[in-house]
Structure 1
């Protein structure tokens, strides 16, 4: 028995070593493939990105600016042209933005300062007569004849006004949109200031009792206060009518009246820039206004009264209460209202 077991055992070992692998049945392969899923898709073909062909010649690069050669000094001994000398002068003196413009440049940009407002260049006799009032019995007299021609306006002049604090200064307003200040008795240039702040004809101009300030009004529906000494505009007051006439209150220099083409009379406060009182009477264009000495009343004249166009009107107003005082007819063609 032992011999038979050994013989059979050896035979089975040889069979295992020499036997080939058994092929997988077709039904088994099909089942395995279905369990593993469908085969992966083939990737889509995409064309490669377009690249432009290289240029047949190199692209030129912009040339760098070469540094200018150093300017020759006049002490080097060689001839230096006028252009080089000008460049040397410009490079040696840098421009300061805070420095004042030269007179020619200032005139080009329309600076209102064109002359002097000082009284230092007046004739001696005129200077003393303006500064000092002659005492009773004094033999010093004013010059018998004073005459001067003032030019500058290019169109008609609508109004003139002497300064109360600087008797040698005269202001004028014209149809050429400008306000001029003349140093009347100056030996040299008599035109001291030319203001071009208005955009239409200037109808009236008045000196402020406070000093070197001017108030002007015109057809651009505005009133403008300027500093004469500095040549600058201080404040603008907007109206809804063309301004015909203005007047300062003698009792309060911060208040002034304005009258216009629509018949409105307004009392303004310079400090606030606002209207404090308004006077309405259904009037026509205001031609003139004048305060009483105490400033409590004022009188105005108009071209027509809209209630009766055949009548001209002169009305006296109470400044504080904004009401006209009593009226009286003294002429069939003119109505006086008091």
Structure 2
């Protein structure tokens, strides 16, 4: 230990001092690097003077940032879109504003009668008396083919007799200027988001009411091409009908069996007729508007109840629900224009006749037979005089019957597939419109 202490102990005063390293020798620990010389005046010898720095550009004025509490996070994508929309630095002309997307206008043609045939225009202006007849339709007058899928309903305008409305499975409602020599398509409305099942004109104004599977009925001003009111429901709408005595009220029926009376002035329901029915297939008002009949697609075991129901509209109660006791549903019901009777299109491939007075008995001695239904929603229609009854058919033809005798008169071929809807003109007694599964509309005269 003494030897180690002597060898590694601290040097005494008698020891030789530590040798000094020459100035050129490297020390054991590298000193910190020398600082970069600053350009001062006068400069260090051997260094050239620095180049003059460019004058800084003044920063453009910027809006103060929003307060911290009102800021929101801006994603990287939003920042990139914002930067792309800004004009480049130094650009004299700013970028043009973005162009808004264009939508198809429903006003595609004319509603006026300036370009229709002279004989049609003369007949429309010289309206015949109710009950008169000038013959029956038998030849094709106009074929309208703009619908891309099946057409469910057609309706003539009572105030503008040259206009016809149609509702299609292609989600559109179309207005046709039927005898226009230039363009028969006047309006195309695409407000529904699903198939349109029914369409009706208002009695005195160029308003169109349509109901569809998007659970809504929509009122449109056909003249200006603008939607007025949307009546939302909790069921797909199958059928709609204006009250004859008051065009401000209409009835709608849907797939859940609910019947609702709407006021177009308020957009609200005023009455509701509900008996846990099946799908409402058709509704029809009497001439006085105090009662209506409806047909339903009942799925209960006792199909003799609720197939056809007669309702009192004021008391909201059924007057009879055992009108039709056959085991068939009826896709169409129609009142006779002058007599106290109504008819019902039966899926038994015939049209039945009923009394319009209590107890609403079925006429078991008369029926209209010869056409086919076979599950299609085949509709029928009375002529202006009430002497004839026309019906569509599953074979694509229109069948005509004499109402008094229920005798078959004739048939004309309208389409290659089922003809589902026929509608007599409200003014011209020898004009009838039809539509069907082909998406085509045929007008006969």
Shorter-normalised TM range = 0.5 to 0.7
Match in the other structure for 1:17: none
Q: Residue deviations 1:180-221, cap 9 Å, x none?
A: 000000001100000000011100000011310000000000
Q: In structure 2, do the counterparts of structure 1 residues 124 and 60 end up closer, same or farther at CA, with 3 Å as the change threshold?
A: farther
Q: Does 1:256 align with 2:250?
A: yes
Q: Which 10-residue stretch deviates more, 327-336 or 184-193?
A: 327-336
Q: Residue deviations 1:55-112, cap 9 Å, x none?
A: 9975996973468xxxxxxxxxxxxxxxxxxxxxxxxxxxxxxxxxxxxx99x52100
Task: Kindly indicate which of the two structures has a greater share of residues assigned to strand.
Answer: 2
Structure 1 counterpart SS, 2:143: coil
Provide the alpha-carbon RMSD of the alignment: 3.3
Q: In structure 2, do the counterparts of structure 1 residues 59 and 115 end up closer, same or farther at CA, with 3 Å as the change threshold?
A: farther
Q: Which 10-residue stretch deviates more, 282-291 or 322-331?
A: 322-331
* Contact 2:306–2:322 (CA under 8 A) maintained in structure 1: no
Match in the other structure for 2:312: 318
Among residues 190, 196, 202, which one is paired with 1:208 in the alignment?
202
* Contact 2:308–2:323 (CA under 8 A) maintained in structure 1: no
Q: Residue deviations 1:231-274, cap 9 Å, x none?
A: 00000000100000000000111110000000000011111111
The whole-number CA distance in structure 2 between the counterparts of 1:120 and 1:290 is 34
Displacement after TM superposition at 1:312 (Å):
6.5
* Contact 1:173–1:205 (CA under 8 A) maintained in structure 2: yes
Among residues 271, 278, 296, which one is paired with 2:265 in the alignment?
271
> Gaps spanning 5+ residues in structure 1: where?
1-52, 68-104
Q: Does 1:174 align with 2:171?
A: no
Displacement after TM superposition at 1:126 (Å):
1.1
Match in the other structure for 1:11: none
Q: Does 1:186 align with 2:180?
A: yes
Match in the other structure for 2:238: 244
Match in the other structure for 2:411: none
The whole-number CA distance in structure 1 between the counterparts of 2:123 and 2:292 is 33
Displacement after TM superposition at 1:328 (Å):
3.7
* Contact 1:170–1:184 (CA under 8 A) maintained in structure 2: yes
Compare CA radii of gyration and give the structure with the larger one. 1
The whole-number CA distance in structure 1 between the counterparts of 2:149 and 2:104 is 19
Q: TM-score, normalised by structure 2?
A: 0.50
Q: In structure 2, do the counterparts of structure 1 residues 311 and 125 end up closer, same or farther at CA, with 3 Å as the change threshold?
A: same
Q: In structure 2, do the counterparts of structure 1 residues 312 and 279 end up closer, same or farther at CA, with 3 Å as the change threshold?
A: closer
The whole-number CA distance in structure 2 between the counterparts of 1:158 and 1:143 is 21
Q: In structure 2, do the counterparts of structure 1 residues 128 and 144 end up closer, same or farther at CA, with 3 Å as the change threshold?
A: farther
* Contact 1:125–1:142 (CA under 8 A) maintained in structure 2: no
* Contact 1:268–1:276 (CA under 8 A) maintained in structure 2: yes
Task: Kindly indicate which of the two structures has a greater share of residues assigned to helix.
Answer: 1
Q: Does 1:198 align with 2:206?
A: no
Q: Does 1:133 align with 2:150?
A: no
Q: TM-score, normalised by structure 1?
A: 0.65
Structure 1 counterpart SS, 2:276: coil
After superposing on structure 2, the runs of 4+ consecutive aligned residues of structure 1 that deviate more than 2 Å are 53-67, 140-146, 305-312, 326-332, 334-338
